[in-house]
Amino acid sequence: MKYDDASWHYGGNFPKDLPAEAGATHIGMFVAWAWMTGLAGEDVIDEMPDAVAALNERSITPGKSFFDSCDGKFVDDDLNAEGNAFAVEYFDFKTGQYLNDYDELLTGDLPSVYHVPDTWESFDRLRPRLDERYREWSGRN
């Protein structure tokens, strides 16, 4: 199952002043959080341990890590069973809260969600909300 793909974003109404990688920042923030929280899929753990380590060391930004490691595509193999169950509910574009939370916490006065900088400062503003949503979701299951 494919949850998201950066290429879906950098076509159409995507801001012309931004690089294609900016279409992956919002995905990268979620995937980095999931991997750093222990929700990485078996393939990620076995085949990309350096990617997870780089995130934990903060030697690469979340969006760049996602773009480099996952080629801009967020699929179910990126997460373990629990991570997928959470992503199905929270990350889903139509019914989930992720994009609303991301927009509320990070977009502010920026022209669009794509202008959110791919930085650890952005991640650190978003992470408490992700932790909170995950705790709420875990308590119901």
pLDDT digits (tens, 9 = 90+) for 4-41: 988 887 766 789 889 988 989 999 999 999 999 999 99
Q: What is the pLDDT of residue 141?
A: 56
In 3-state terms, what secondary structure has residue 44?
Answer: helix
Q: How far is CA 32 from the centre of its chain?
A: 6
Q: What is the pLDDT of residue 5?
A: 86
**Residues of the chain predicted below pLDDT 50:** none
Q: What is the pLDDT of residue 65?
A: 97
Domain that holds residue 104: 2-11+18-140
* 139 burial type by CB count under 10 A (0-12 exposed, 13-18 middle, 19+ buried): exposed
Q: Please count the structural domains in the chain.
A: 1
> CA angle, 97 as apex, 65 and 54 as ends, to 5°?
15
**Taking the model in full, what pTM does it have?**
0.95
